[in-house]
Amino acid sequence: MNNYLQNKIITIPYIGEMRKEALENMGIFNAEDLLYYFPRKYLDRSNVKDMNQLIVGEECTVIGQVERVWTTKTKRKTILKVLIKDNFGYLTLSWFAGIYWIKKIFKIGDNVSVSGKVNYYKGLNIIHPDFDLLDAHIGNLSTGIIVPVYALTEDMRKKGLNSRQFRRIFKKIFTEITNNIPDPIPQDIRNKYSLIDLLEGLKFIHFPKDKETLKKARYRFKFQELLMLQSVLAIKRRQIKSEKCFAQCKRAGELTTNLYNKLPFDLTDAQKRVAREIYNDLRSETPMNRLLQGDVGSGKTIVAAISAAIMTENNSQTVIMAPTEILAEQHYNNFKRYFKPWGINCELLIGKQTKKQRETILPKIANGKTPIIVGTHALLQEKVKYSKLGLVIIDEQHRFGVDQRMTLIKKGINPHVLMMTATPIPRTLSISVYGDMDTSIIDEMPKGRKPIVTRVVKEVKLPKVYDFLKNQINLGRQIFIVYPLISESEKMDLQAAEKGFENISKIFSSYKIALLHSKLKKLEKKEVIEKYKSGEVDILVSTTVIEVGVDIPNATVMIIENAERFGLSQLHQLRGRIGRGGEKSYCILVSRKDTEQGNERLRILEGTIDGFKISEADLKLRGPGEFFSAKQHGLVDLKIANLIEDGEILRKARLAAFSIIKNDKNLSNKNNKDFKEFFLKNNKDKLNYATIG
């Protein structure tokens, strides 16, 4: 890169030791880092209101000049007040916290931009507004001028860094910078996708001439950010495809045919399609790297079993890793039932097993006598050795970190990998996190499944709900009643579940009721679930421990208490515990608190059972950072691109990235020199085992 861009920030005008420290705390160490510190928003002067246009109760942005700064005291606290004015009136700003450092910021005569909700008390006022000091000429801005506003930490503010100072610093940088800045986006890509060059983009993003130049700059940097993200995935995919598969399958033979023919149900067309996709991968010379998405109850497990059958008759081991012992045991029981008629040995490996049990199991895994192994994190332990590990299946894979998944995969030599999830992933998020993988989707529910009826009810309607539950139990059905369990308030939530259990026990005194939560000992949990499965228990009161892995076909009704506290995807996962038999099922969402977002979530769930529609809505409500744990699942922290809004840019950036890596796998072409340098500097740590150069 240009030498100037690598200059340490202490060498940049207007940045002394104190400001240097504040900037370095934000990861800004040189001129290039600083130039990529983009504005968080922009003020369009044509949209800023004059003070005579303000309406009480509305959010607004106002630009004014500081007229007076003072504090006033009440019995309990000191309040900071700042009076600002424009040509049409006055507005008072009030702060109840942080007043001492805020007071130092405002000087009489300063021009400021303030944003917030307008109130009226002895005149117009805004409490705790967002604010930014502006350039001296700001008061005379003409219509159409756009002012950048930068995110400021408290430390920055204390050290005199504000939007005005940032503009001053950037203005100086652009007078000193040369025109030959290496551009990380190759010229042919810029031409193809109509992208402005780097220097022009940097100037326009910090000093936009108008809305059009700002739009071009933002488009360019969104594309650049997504290009780098997709290049990571393209390199990972290229690395996988270049490896030789250790356990290539020649055929699906008698075992697979027998398993398929003896199934007590017909596979859906979607299951058949996905099974064929996996079979073709298993026969390939390169290892499979596939993500299998399927809604709750869509039949992913039997597809996994068919995959394991193919591997078994090709003399390779299959490992299935699940996030909880409940789910692992359920998978183990299913696989054992599928393969027992053919004399195929399956083993379960979980944390609660004794040393003696392990001493019996581990040698059979190591010598290859056990072709199918199901377990939890216990599968990752160093003592667990595999004979010929050919297929790794990771269920509910988003519950495992990248390192955990890689630890299991590396126990084999380039094994096939099948990751499964019952959380449908929106397309933009899928190609951002799992874009190095092939994707299969089971988008069809098993025949005979009836749609789950979902209704939202308030507390006042619960007596009628309880009457309905009694009718269902009298018909031979079973009930789930679920209470939220949020880690931050786990103790209170457990108490709520226990209190709910007591209350339900009184209302349903003539029925059999059990309580299940995470604090029970493992044996106690297992006993409760077994009793529920066998029909000894009519109502299971539970926390979200049942979210994954409790499969009771006879359970037809679920009550979710305080449903507004759950995320959309979690509510959908919980709902998937019912409706697994042939009877009509009902999910009743009890809302005890009115919140705008909570009500919106419940309306969405009431209106559809389509997991993909629900996941798209969930992504919009929560954002990608909360949809997955970004740190755990490798989702990059995007600074300017938005995976919800920028799907079209992402698609183009993906095509460009895969084209670059396909045509120049080691990035040795001189036309990609600047791309390679920028890419490696910012993304090398994300490549894991993959390499370039």
Q: What is the pLDDT of residues 312-323, one digit of tens each?
A: 999 999 999 998
State the pLDDT at residue 127.
Answer: 93
The token duo for 52 is 């005579």
**Cβ proximity of 84 and 66 under 8 Å:** yes
Only one residue has tokens 């040369």, namely 178
447: helix, strand or coil:
coil
Whole-number average pLDDT of the chain: 88
Mapping DSSP onto H, E and C, the string for 329-360 reads HHHHHHHHHHHHHHCCCEEEECCCCCHHHHHH
Q: pLDDT by residue (tens digit) across 332-389?
A: 999 999 999 999 999 999 988 889 999 999 999 999 999 999 999 999 999 999 999 9
From CA 346, how far away is CA 610, in angstroms rounded?
A: 34
Phi first, then psi: give them for residue 486, nearest 5 degrees.
-105, 130
Answer yes or no: is pLDDT of 633 > 70: no
From CA 528, how far away is CA 535, in angstroms rounded?
A: 11
State the pLDDT at residue 490.
Answer: 58
**Beta-carbon count within 10 A of 151 CB:** 12
Cβ burial of 526 (10 Å; 0-12, 13-18, 19+) is middle
State the pLDDT at residue 448.
Answer: 74
Mean pLDDT to the nearest integer, 261-285? 93
Answer yes or no: is pLDDT of 251 > 90: no
Cβ burial of 177 (10 Å; 0-12, 13-18, 19+) is middle
Q: Which residues pair with 293 in a beta bridge?
A: 421, 441
The token duo for 478 is 């079973």
Mean pLDDT to the nearest integer, 156-166? 87
| pLDDT confidence bin for 631, thresholds 50/70/90 | very low
Pick from 10-19, 177-186, 267-276, 358-367: least confident: 177-186
State the pLDDT at residue 58.
Answer: 87
Pick from 44-48, 61-65, 227-231, 526-530: least confident: 44-48
Q: Which residues pair with 289 in a beta bridge?
A: 417
State the pLDDT at residue 487.
Answer: 47
Q: Which residues pair with 560 in a beta bridge?
A: 482, 589
Distances (CA, A) of 456 to 572, 600, 601: 14, 11, 11
- Fold identical between 41-149 and 254-283+299-421? no
**Cβ proximity of 568 and 606 under 8 Å:** no
Q: pLDDT by residue (tens digit) across 165-195?
A: 898 899 999 988 867 788 999 999 999 999 9
From CA 424, how far away is CA 426, in angstroms rounded?
A: 7
From CA 526, how far away is CA 556, in angstroms rounded?
A: 21
| pLDDT confidence bin for 6, thresholds 50/70/90 | confident
Nearest to 552 by CA among 521, 572, 574, 524: 574
From CA 393, how far away is CA 379, in angstroms rounded?
A: 12
State the pLDDT at residue 690.
Answer: 66
Alpha carbon of residue 390 to chain centroid: 30
Alpha carbon of residue 502 to chain centroid: 36
**Cβ proximity of 477 and 485 under 8 Å:** no
The token duo for 543 is 């926390």
Q: Tell me which CATH homologous superfamily contains domain 41-149.
A: Nucleic acid-binding proteins (2.40.50.140)
CATH no., domain 453-608: 3.40.50.300
Helices (H) and strands (E) in the chain, counts: 25, 21
**Helix segments in 384-489, DSSP class H:** 402-409, 427-433, 462-474
Nearest to 191 by CA among 223, 149, 215, 162: 223
The token duo for 291 is 């993500």
Answer yes or no: is pLDDT of 557 > 60: yes
From CA 416, how far away is CA 246, in angstroms rounded?
A: 9
| pLDDT confidence bin for 632, thresholds 50/70/90 | very low
Pick from 69-73, 180-184, 288-292: least confident: 180-184
From CA 486, how far away is CA 547, in angstroms rounded?
A: 13
Quote the percentage of the chain above a pLDDT of 70: 92
From CA 557, how far away is CA 577, in angstroms rounded?
A: 9
Phi first, then psi: give them for residue 539, nearest 5 degrees.
-125, 125
Residue spans of beta strands (DSSP E) within 45-200? 59-73, 78-86, 89-95, 111-120, 124-127, 130-133, 146-149
**Cβ proximity of 648 and 153 under 8 Å:** no
Pick from 90-104, 136-150, 197-211, 287-301: least confident: 136-150
Q: Tell me which CATH homologous superfamily contains domain 254-283+299-421.
A: P-loop containing nucleotide triphosphate hydrolases (3.40.50.300)
State the pLDDT at residue 60.
Answer: 85
| pLDDT confidence bin for 22, thresholds 50/70/90 | very high
State the pLDDT at residue 488.
Answer: 44
Answer yes or no: is pLDDT of 200 > 80: yes
Which helix (H) or strand (E) covers residue 321, if one does? strand 317-321
Mean pLDDT to the nearest integer, 75-97? 92
State the pLDDT at residue 625.
Answer: 63
State the pLDDT at residue 65.
Answer: 93
| pLDDT confidence bin for 630, thresholds 50/70/90 | very low
The token duo for 601 is 């979530």
Answer yes or no: is pLDDT of 489 > 70: no
State the pLDDT at residue 45.
Answer: 67
**Domain residue spans of the chain:** 41-149, 254-283+299-421, 453-608
